[in-house]
Amino acid sequence: MVDRQARHAGPASALRVVSSVSLIALIALCLAWEAWLAPLRPEGSALILKVLPLLVPLFGVLRGRRYTYQWSSMLIWFYFTEGVVRGWSDKGLSAHLAWGEVALSLVFFVSASLYARLSRTQVRPAN
C-alpha cells in the first residue's frame, strides 16, 4: 500500500509553489498599487501599510509550515474583501488592480487550503 504522504508529495509541492508565488505577487501588487500605480493620494498614502500583515506568514509559507497555511488562508479574506469593495467603487487602473488583488487572494486561498489538507499527517487509530 502506498504511503499517503508519498502519494500526495507531488501535488502538495506544486500547491506550495503556487501559494508562495501568489502571496509574493500579492505583496508586490499591494506595494506597487499604493506607492506608484494608483495611490489614493498623489503623494502616496498610509494604505501601503496593508502589506505588513502579509509579511507575517511569508516565511512560514515559504518553508511549508502547515499551521501557517491554515491561518493565513483566513487572513487572505481581508484582501479579497478589500479587492471586491475597491473593484466595485474605484475607477480606472485602481479598479483593475483591485480585481487583480481578488484573483491573487483566491489563488492563494485555494492553494493554501489544499496544501494544508494534503500535508496533514494521517492519524491512525490505536488498536
Q: Which tens digit of pLDDT belongs to each residue from 68-100?
A: 999 999 999 999 999 999 999 999 999 999 999
Q: Indicate whether 46 belongs to any domain.
A: yes
Q: Indicate whether 124 belongs to any domain.
A: no
The domain tally of the chain equals 1
Q: Indicate whether 87 belongs to any domain.
A: no
Out of 30-34, 38-42, 66-70, least confident range: 38-42
Q: Indicate whether 94 belongs to any domain.
A: no
Average pLDDT over residues 23-41: 93
Query: What is the greatest pairwise CA distance in the chain?
Result: 67
89, three cell numbers:
467603487
Q: Over the chain, what is the mean pLDDT? A: 89
Q: Indicate whether 102 belongs to any domain.
A: no
Q: Indicate whether 98 belongs to any domain.
A: no
DSSP state of 64: T
Q: Indicate whether 24 belongs to any domain.
A: yes
Range with top average pLDDT, 2-11, 43-52, 97-106? 97-106
Q: Which among 13, 100, 114, 123 has a CA at the least distance from the CA of 70?
A: 114
Q: Indicate whether 49 belongs to any domain.
A: yes
Distances 93 to 32, 74, 76, 88 between C-alpha atoms, Å? 12, 27, 22, 12
10 vs 50: CA distance, rounded Å = 33
Could you list the residue range(s) of the whole structural domain that residue 32 is in? 4-78+108-118
The structure's pTM equals 0.86
Average pLDDT over residues 45-73: 94
SS3 120: coil
